[in-house]
Structure 1
Amino acid sequence: MHLLAASTQRNLGMAIAVVAIVGFAIYLIYNVLWAGRGEKGSELELAPNRKPYLSDDELETSKLDLALVSGLVTLVIIGVALPLYWLGEPGRQQGYVEFSRGQFTSRGGEQFEERCASCHGGGGLGGTTATSITDDAGNFIAAIEWEVPALTTALYRFSEEEVRHILNYGRPPTPMQAWGAPGGGPLTTQQVDELIQYIQSIQLSPEEVQGEVLGGLVLQVRDDVLAARPDLRDRLEQANAAVGAAGADEAAAEAAAREVAALEQELRETSEQYIRNLNPPEQGELLFNNGVYGCARCHTPRDSWRFTGPEEKPGEGPVVLARGTEQEAQEVARLGSLIPAYVPGGGAFGPNLTNGSTLRQFDTAEGHAGFVTIGAQEGVGYGNFGQGDGGGQMPAFGVCVGDRDSGERSPLFGFCMLEDGSDRPGMLTADQIAAIVAYERGL
């Protein structure tokens, strides 16, 4: 709509300009070519400044009337056309913003697919990348497969300036390298802005975010629910077996697939009820370990990566040892003290939360929850010992902070206000954050 309004106003302005130019051209043609041709004879007699001029009767009637009417028409055109033109200025500006946003998004998408999708996945949906861990001296310790987070909620958790900081300088000690020129990377300032605009374009809606959060919790309790409901487990196994046994029988395969879908829906509803019946610390543990929507990625050693096994199957790449498997335990034992133990909340990219550290940092659960809600801000201290380093070190989980540091920058980078004028909520609700705090304060 804004582009259409801008186009209409631009066309009106062009039409007025064309009329003015054509009128001026006619005036020049009349005075230079037409009016001058009739002069023949002595210049002394026929020069314009020597000829008798119009009489007072002629000047004060038709000539004067024509001049006055022409002036009035011109004033009417100016008085009507200029306000109409400027009434469309907000639409033209918004149209330019939308056009520029589209340009930035398109170019940012190309940059993303070329430079980022190999790790973050197509559309920023997450992925994995092979890397290695080293000791403090840079010596190789082990090959690992790093779980790269999805970026579809990045501007809920980080402000645009924090995203820019991460793009410019990377995120040591993770595989995220510096991409911007300030950090020695290959991208210009505008290319980084284009990437940010593309990331904004792929952000999930608030409803989708809550669905993803709940989906992660449901996945965590799936095995527990199936163990508590052996009837449901058996029916699901039989339905999945029926899908495989259907073969080329399309009718049987379709019926079996419908049965599987119905049972999966029953399992999800049962799991959601199971989660609601948990006490706050138990719910908090699920939320704490909920991938990019939780806390363990930064606060639990090895949560973001898996060991790469020594065996490689043709066409499948290296075998990745899942956390908690016997193989991973053997790998940890082999590497000894070089690999930190998997201790929930034991500290990794983020600080250690065990042994009462959160109780010393925050005197009350309310203060603790407030920090989890808004995250770290540049130059703003938190708790009893925090200095507020900013730079996206501690993301926000309870409010949308994408615009927090925007200041007077271009409206291209607006995100946290919804189309109806309301504020976009954060990734987690206040009750969910309270459950996380209850879990963390008991570590």
Structure 2
Amino acid sequence: MSFGPLAVAIAVTVLAIGLILLANSGRAPRTGEVAPNLAPPASNDEMESKRLNKTLTWALAVSAFMAVGLPIYFATELGRQSAFEEKFLEESVHRGEELFVEDGTSGHGFGCAGCHGAGAVGGVATFNEARSGVTVAWAAPSLNDVFYRYSRDEVRYWLVYGRQGTPMPAWGVEVGGPANDQELDDLMNYLESIQITQQEALAQVDPRVAEEVLKVRDVDRIFVDAIESQQLTIAEIEEAPAVAAILGNLVRAADSETNTPAGELTQLIANAPNGLDTDRDGLSDDDEAKVTRLLDDAADRLGRDTLGTTNIRIELDPLNSFSELNSLGEPTRDLQTVRNVAAALRAELGAVAPVAANQESILAGAQAGLEALLENQAAAKFQVDFQNIAERSFDDDLETASRAYGLYSAYCARCHTSGWSAGLPFTVEPGSGALGPSLRDGRTIVQFPDADDHVDFIINGSDNGIGYGTNGIGRGWMPGFGAVLTEEDIRLIVDYERGL
């Protein structure tokens, strides 16, 4: 229990009593009373009696209270302030978690988890690759270890200004974003609260290295998947007008300006129940048969039985109010089932209709993207010759060369290899430069004639306004990897980069 508040309460009470006595002492004397300064002085016998003892006793009591109470208050006040700081930080972390997890449509948040993954373990973001125009799964970095690489001020910089040319937007209000200083503090406090241990960060190195090496060796399959995905996109664009017509006939809204009637399913739901409803589920028996027929035909023509998690091929029973289960496996009344299907069809129509209306330009862009993929495949700029790396930089040690490349690709390529974040089909030569400078053609040797300086730079990163290497001036953009990589691994990266 904290004695601070009790001490404060007692002190306030004593002060209040003193003020009351002071106020009373200033009142006019009662009739017949003689002012103290006019009355004869009290004798020594009167003064040195119980009156003096009483006054001294009160003085001693107050002195004792102050002597004991003030230290107690001082001691407990520190704990109270510490508890307040802990509670304030806890509330800030909670607000930051909401900002990280929720997006602008479902709550007051920024939707960071949509790209960086639940728990900030890393993820992907849908993005158009600039050179090809192809929609890709852009690799978003993990943030549950970000403070091992960047300082708090550097993290704030990236939150405020974002990274142009990537899915990372600018969040700071000073550049037109929605996040004020407190929200940024809350978000960073949350990220600090979920940082993994250094041992966990070091344990991730080998799996990440193995993944990067495997990608290079599995490049043919990766390219085939990317090309097939783009071909499927082109096919969907070509089919968009027909799909939009099928969906529109079912669920479009009526348009009085063009005299276009509502879709059949839209009309049926609006007029339900329309006739005999044996099972009292909100749909007439005839309408249930009609819905089953309409949706069977639509599923056949669309070539699919589901849209997302919604089953569009349903069979309604006029004698059963709960003919189908919803996406959660729960029994649903037939009218609600039809409404759910109609909502899924309308959502699909909303996505397909703009594509159908702008098919020519969208199709041209998609075909150009396919051509870019085929050109990238033929150019093979992504190829990595491990044997050549071993001969050039690692005394023919193929295993060490593979690890060095894997380390570079896992920890450096995001900023120093063009196209890396978009995926291997869009990646060009290692060290070609992206957010960070090119490392090819001996540029690292020019900047760091002494390899040890190069090692120190990767360990510590850059600081804003502080020089590095021969002519470098830091901006705080280069992270430090000394907390997540061993010096031995960092030296492998240095040897690899100096051989590019």
The TM-score with structure 1 as length reference comes to 0.63
Tell me how far 1:112 sits from its aligned partner: 1.0
Equivalent position of 2:472 in the other structure:
386
Question: Are residues 1:433 and 2:490 paired?
Answer: yes
Alpha-carbon distance change, 370 to 71 in structure 1, aligned in 2, over 3 angstroms:
same
1:352 aligns with 2:438: yes
- Alignment equivalent of 1:148, drawn from 140, 148, 151: 140
Residue 215 of structure 1 deviates from its aligned partner by: 2.8
1:19 to partner: Cα distance = 3.0
Contact 1:280 1:438 in 2 (8 A): no
Between the aligned partners of 2:149 and 2:174, the Cα distance in structure 1 is 23
In the alignment, which residue of structure 1 is the partner of 2:391?
A: none
Whether contact under 8 Å (2:213, 2:402) holds in the other structure is: no
CA RMSD of aligned residues (A): 3.1
Secondary structure of the equivalent of 2:467?
coil
Equivalent in 400, 404, 413 of residue 296 of structure 1: 413
- Check the 8 A contact 1:125/1:150 in 2, yes or no: yes
* Aligned-residue offset at 1:349: 2.0
**Secondary structure, in 3 states, of the residue corresponding to 1:147?**
strand
* 2: CA distance, partners of 1:74 / 1:278: 84
Residue in structure 1 matched with residue 480 of structure 2 by the alignment: 396
Q: 1:52 to 1:15 in 2, by over 3 A?
A: farther
Checking the alignment, whether the CA contact within 8 Å between 2:116 and 2:142 is kept in structure 1 is: yes
CA distance in structure 2 between the aligned counterparts of 1:178 and 1:223, rounded to whole angstroms: 31
Alignment partner, residue 13 of structure 1: 4
Q: 2:8 & 2:438 partners in 1: Cα distance?
A: 69
Tell me if 1:165 matches 2:146: no
1:309-388 equivalences under 5 Å are 323=424, 328=425, 342-388=428-474
Aligned to 1:318: none
CA apart distance, 1:301: 2.2
Shift of 1:351: 1.6
Deviation readout 1:13-64 (Å, 9 max, x if unpaired): 322233344456667889999xx9xxxxx95435675888865323212111
- Alpha-carbon spacing, 1:14–1:48, altered in 2? closer, same or farther (3 Å): farther
Whether 1:98 aligns to 2:86 is: yes
Structure 1 residue ranges without an equivalent (≥5): 1-7, 37-41, 226-276, 307-322, 329-338, 399-425
1:122 maps to which of 118, 137, 145:
118
Structure of larger gyration radius: 2
Which secondary structure state, in structure 1, belongs to the residue aligned with residue 493 of structure 2?
Answer: helix
Counterpart position of 2:174: 182
Which letter does structure 2 place at the counterpart of 1:437? V
**Of 405, 409, 421, the match for 1:285:** 405
Change (3 A) 1:45 1:51: farther
Contact 1:206 1:427 in 2 (8 A): yes
Paired residue total: 309
User: Shift of the alpha carbon at 1:134?
Assistant: 3.2
Q: Does 1:206 align with 2:292?
A: no
Q: Which residue of 2 aligns with 1:264?
A: none
Deviation digits for residues 156-210 of structure 1 (CA, Å, limit 9, x no counterpart): 1111111111111111221111001112101111111111111111111111111
Residue 45 (structure 1) aligned to one of 32, 43, 66: 32
Q: Which runs of 5+ in 2 are unaligned?
A: 103-109, 218-396
SS at match of 1:167: helix
Whether the 8 Å CA contact 2:4–2:74 is kept in 1: the answer is no
Alpha-carbon distance in structure 2 between the residues aligned to 1:440 and 1:195? 35
Aligned counterparts of 1:30 and 1:369: Cα–Cα separation in 2: 76
AA aligned to 1:17 is V
- Greater relative CO (CA pairs within 8 A, separation 6+): 1
Q: Give secondary structure in 2 for the equivalent of 1:368.
A: helix
User: Identity across aligned pairs (percent)?
Assistant: 37
The CA distance in 2 between the partners of 1:54 and 1:440, in whole Å, is 99
Structure 1 partner of 2:356: none
Question: Per the alignment, do residues 107 and 159 of structure 1 end up closer, same or farther by CA in structure 2, a change over 3 Å counting?
Answer: same
Contact 2:149-2:480 at 8 Å conserved across structures: yes
Equivalence for 1:256: none
Q: Is the 8 A contact 1:108 1:195 kept in 2?
A: yes
> How far 1:87 moved relative to its partner?
2.8
SS at match of 1:45: coil
1:280–1:439 contact (8 Å) kept in structure 2: no
Contact 1:209 1:427 in 2 (8 A): yes
Q: How far apart in 2 are the matches of 1:177 and 1:190? A: 18
Deviation of 1:287 (Å) = 1.2
> Using a 3 Å threshold, how does the CA distance of structure 1 residues 66 and 354 change in structure 2: closer, same or farther?
same
Are residue 133 (structure 1) and residue 129 (structure 2) matched? yes
